[in-house]
Chain A
């Protein structure tokens, strides 16, 4: 540890500034129970079974969501198959106009969608309001414009839709992941059967209603809810031409095996253990903000989270001091409060996973820095952000994806060492590099095995910018021109 630093918060008692609560006041309509959105309308699940969707910040049940069976999946696939000829036969311009309508309607309902996302998933309202929902809308706008321009997108090719797409998405960015899946699929003339994660179905069900509201032809989008078994039924269904999955690497590998002897096409966006590399010649304060953004954004439930921090040895003590300082002022608590930085952990199960890694981090000899000053609410699932120094590359917290607000800090001496240690992972989703030296930053960017490299920034997303990983982080890209390759043949 370096020399004792000046307490910048002198006068506040070293604690947080007191802010009055600033709760979001919009209350969206949530039905007591939901059906499955198949062939343009909500229908009862065949089994009649439902499961609760819980607000992770209060543990209250928000609604009862339908559990789709293999029979329900079959109904949805048949609806998508029936809708396919007319939808893919529609002129690109007309298809695009439907997507524009969806985008507009989502913008009009933006506040409602943001609140719903926060209630159902636990993420801070300022993130769902400023990131998730605007990006989801933008994704539809961007792809709407591609629908009638596909023949110009990929030179020398005549892109055709693949057919019926089965899409399975995770709980960390429910509406945004839905947009990443549905917008390009529809723009390219495919029809879809999409399953949201079981803990975060509500925005997808609201989206289904939007599809009906704007007059999207029935069967083009089918939303079915359920857990892993429903996902398996989608993967196995012979009437599906393509599977697009975002989620864990272990499930991704199971899916790859399950479709191995079929003709199904596959794209996978899986886990990560992304490296954030900070050199001694970086703008330090900017870098600290980026590191914080990189690991504590969305409670660390981010596949591209910068969860391994490599710090050049000469600035290690300074960086640790600055991280402690910055982290102590992160506000953890009510996701509906506009001042909240870190919300609730998405589910009880995920909290248990994170706690397992915290225990491993302690046992294996890392030094935990628990400096977050917030008081946690009594109910709900919470985890204070923290980081570990003194981490060895062999430690579990340095190798495995935690999917929580836990950062592993390690040091390096030379750029070569930083690169080889960053690349020493089966994952290859994202990476960050911090230095003010132009030639160095581009050399390091070139040599990192990662699908997204953020230079002097982190966790930026845009519909025009392809997203996806190297190695066991999956294959295929989502967004941008390259995302179109995944939905055409």
Chain B
């Protein structure tokens, strides 16, 4: 049996439910631990970030006003689609821990699927004001969230940062792991075949040195969720965000495999706006 020459895939970006190449025309190669070429990926530009933010903005209102039950169903559907791609995801991650990481990622999506229709019950309130008013506080999505995923774990880090964001009805633009974006791009294919509306998760591959600044200064991004970024990038995210007062959450030193530290309402708080509504209850 003769050796078959494998097809080397070029992974494209995922923007607005489509898979475009970067408008910049640039690409880079991804190699495995043994330095074998495994794939080509796009090197996204500032324009791609802007296109992705546009797509997120278009998609967010529909997703944000979908019923919490529906969002919960859709996130669980995403877990089902990931389950079907377990082997492909593991191959994309590579190494001994890959299967464990895929399984933890799927389970994390399942965890946050369940939060969609429970968070408002845990963190929403009827407030006993001293007067004849109905007064209640309800969480709403913050809008479009820029996510900077850590290099490693490439899939579990991505999923842990994205799942709470979309569970609360937000849309996001995600910069995947710089060292190995392939698992995130395989995930993008699972997302495209789940029931998640196009534009809710937009995935970019590229360089943090080039793109973090544009995430921080884009005025249509409402919040930032970042993990595994350098001190310099953290300061850049917070400084650039001051201009439109983005809500910035940079997570450091997280063990993404630890359910205790990655699965709690504290991961959801930053991506909601609490709205307090008053109405007289006496005439």
Among A18-26, A46-54, A195-203, A477-485, the one that faces the other chain is A477-485
Verify B241–A475 contact, CB threshold 8 A.
Answer: no
Q: Which residue of A lies closest to B252 (CB)?
A: A263
Task: Compute how far the CA of A428 lies from the CA of B275 in the bound complex, rounded to whole angstroms.
Answer: 10
Other-chain residue from B133, B231, B247 in contact with A460 (beta carbon distance below 8 A): B133
Residue interface bits B2-44, CB-to-A below 8 A is 1, else 0: 0000000000000000000000000000000000000000000
Other-chain residue from A157, A450, A466 in contact with B266 (beta carbon distance below 8 A): A157
Task: Compute how far the CA of A253 lies from the CA of B240 in the bound complex, rounded to whole angstroms.
Answer: 10
Q: Judge if A426 is at the interface, Cβ distance under 8 Å.
A: yes
Q: A456-B280, A480-B125 are in contact. Are A466 and B238 (CB under 8 A)?
A: no
Q: Judge if B94 is at the interface, Cβ distance under 8 Å.
A: no
Other-chain residue from A464, A465, A472 in contact with B245 (beta carbon distance below 8 A): A472
Verify B277–A445 contact, CB threshold 8 A.
Answer: yes
B contact residues around A480 at 8 Å (CB): 125, 127, 137, 276
Other-chain residue from A155, A426, A453, A456 in contact with B275 (beta carbon distance below 8 A): A453
Residue interface bits A451-484, CB-to-B below 8 A is 1, else 0: 1111111001010111110111011010011100
Verify A462–B135 contact, CB threshold 8 A.
Answer: yes
Verify A256–B275 contact, CB threshold 8 A.
Answer: no
Verify B274–A477 contact, CB threshold 8 A.
Answer: yes
Task: Compute how far the CA of A446 lies from the CA of B61 in the bound complex, rounded to whole angstroms.
Answer: 12
Verify A450–B279 contact, CB threshold 8 A.
Answer: no
Verify A451–B275 contact, CB threshold 8 A.
Answer: yes
Task: Compute how far the CA of A256 lies from the CA of B248 in the bound complex, rounded to whole angstroms.
Answer: 11
B contact residues around A257 at 8 Å (CB): 239, 242
Q: Which residue of B lies closest to A462 (CB)?
A: B129
Task: Compute how far the CA of A341 lies from the CA of B114 in the bound complex, rounded to whole angstroms.
Answer: 52
Q: Judge if A244 is at the interface, Cβ distance under 8 Å.
A: no
Task: Compute how far the CA of A268 lies from the CA of B244 in the bound complex, rounded to whole angstroms.
Answer: 13
Task: Compute how far the CA of A428 lies from the CA of B231 in the bound complex, rounded to whole angstroms.
Answer: 31
Q: Judge if A260 is at the interface, Cβ distance under 8 Å.
A: yes
Q: Which of A249-272 contact B (CB under 8 A)?
A: 249, 252-254, 256-257, 259-261, 268, 270
A contact residues around B235 at 8 Å (CB): 260-261
Q: Smallest distance from the beta carbon of A76 to chain B beta carbons, Å? A: 26
Q: Judge if A156 is at the interface, Cβ distance under 8 Å.
A: yes
Verify B264–A456 contact, CB threshold 8 A.
Answer: no
Q: Judge if B265 is at the interface, Cβ distance under 8 Å.
A: yes
Other-chain residue from B239, B276, B277, B279 in contact with A261 (beta carbon distance below 8 A): B239
A contact residues around B280 at 8 Å (CB): 456-457
Q: Judge if A233 is at the interface, Cβ distance under 8 Å.
A: no
B contact residues around A428 at 8 Å (CB): 273
User: What DSSP secondary structure best describes chain B's contact surface?
Assistant: mixed
Q: Judge if A80 is at the interface, Cβ distance under 8 Å.
A: no
Among B140, B244, B269, B276, chain A packs the most CB atoms within 10 A around the CB of B276
Q: Judge if A376 is at the interface, Cβ distance under 8 Å.
A: no
Verify A475–B245 contact, CB threshold 8 A.
Answer: yes
Task: Compute how far the CA of A462 lies from the CA of B278 in the bound complex, rounded to whole angstroms.
Answer: 11
A contact residues around B264 at 8 Å (CB): 156-157
Q: Judge if B178 is at the interface, Cβ distance under 8 Å.
A: no
A contact residues around B137 at 8 Å (CB): 465-466, 480-482
Q: Judge if A138 is at the interface, Cβ distance under 8 Å.
A: yes
Chain A, interface size: which category? Answer: 35 or more
Verify A156–B265 contact, CB threshold 8 A.
Answer: yes
Other-chain residue from A253, A268, A449 in contact with B243 (beta carbon distance below 8 A): A253
Verify B274–A475 contact, CB threshold 8 A.
Answer: no
A contact residues around B242 at 8 Å (CB): 253-254, 256-257, 260
B contact residues around A155 at 8 Å (CB): 122, 265
Verify A260–B127 contact, CB threshold 8 A.
Answer: no
Q: Smallest distance from the beta carbon of B144 to chain A beta carbons, Å? A: 12
Verify A460–B278 contact, CB threshold 8 A.
Answer: yes
Q: Judge if B131 is at the interface, Cβ distance under 8 Å.
A: yes
Q: Judge if B253 is at the interface, Cβ distance under 8 Å.
A: no
Q: Smallest distance from the beta carbon of B92 to chain A beta carbons, Å? A: 33
Verify A252–B245 contact, CB threshold 8 A.
Answer: yes
Q: Judge if B128 is at the interface, Cβ distance under 8 Å.
A: yes
Q: Which residue of B lies closest to A469 (CB)?
A: B273
B contact residues around A482 at 8 Å (CB): 123, 125, 137, 274
Verify B273–A451 contact, CB threshold 8 A.
Answer: yes
Q: Judge if A216 is at the interface, Cβ distance under 8 Å.
A: no
Verify A256–B122 contact, CB threshold 8 A.
Answer: no
B contact residues around A455 at 8 Å (CB): 277-279
A contact residues around B65 at 8 Å (CB): 446
Task: Compute how far the CA of A452 lies from the CA of B277 in the bound complex, rounded to whole angstroms.
Answer: 6
Q: Which residue of B lies closest to A458 (CB)?
A: B278
Q: Which residue of B lies closest to A481 (CB)?
A: B125
Q: Judge if B130 is at the interface, Cβ distance under 8 Å.
A: yes
Q: A451-B276, A457-B278, A471-B222 are in contact. Are A256 and B133 (CB under 8 A)?
A: no
A contact residues around B279 at 8 Å (CB): 441, 455-457
Q: Smallest distance from the beta carbon of B225 to chain A beta carbons, Å? A: 14
Verify B122–A462 contact, CB threshold 8 A.
Answer: no
Q: A157-B266, A474-B245, A477-B274 are in contact. Are A462 and B239 (CB under 8 A)?
A: no
Other-chain residue from A268, A450, A460 in contact with B131 (beta carbon distance below 8 A): A460
Other-chain residue from B125, B245, B265, B278 in contact with A268 (beta carbon distance below 8 A): B245
| Pairs A–B under 8 Å by Cβ, sample size 30 | A156-B264, A156-B265, A253-B242, A257-B242, A259-B238, A260-B238, A261-B234, A261-B235, A270-B245, A426-B244, A428-B273, A451-B276, A452-B277, A453-B275, A453-B277, A456-B280, A457-B279, A460-B129, A462-B131, A464-B135, A465-B278, A466-B127, A466-B274, A467-B276, A471-B222, A474-B245, A475-B245, A482-B123, A482-B137, A482-B274
Q: Closest 8 A-B residue pairs measured CB to CB?
A: A256-B242, A260-B238, A462-B129, A261-B235, A260-B239, A455-B279, A464-B127, A257-B242
Other A-B contacts than A453-B275, A472-B245, 17 sampled, CB-CB below 8 A, are A138-B130, A155-B265, A256-B242, A257-B239, A260-B241, A261-B238, A446-B140, A449-B273, A452-B277, A453-B278, A454-B278, A455-B278, A464-B127, A465-B127, A466-B125, A475-B247, A477-B274
Residues of B bordering A, CB below 8 Å: 65, 122-123, 125, 127-131, 133, 135, 137, 140, 222, 231, 234-235, 238-239, 241-245, 247, 264-266, 269, 273-280
Residues of A bordering B, CB below 8 Å: 138, 154-157, 249, 252-254, 256-257, 259-261, 268, 270, 426, 428, 441, 445-446, 449-457, 460, 462, 464-468, 470-472, 474-475, 477, 480-482, 485
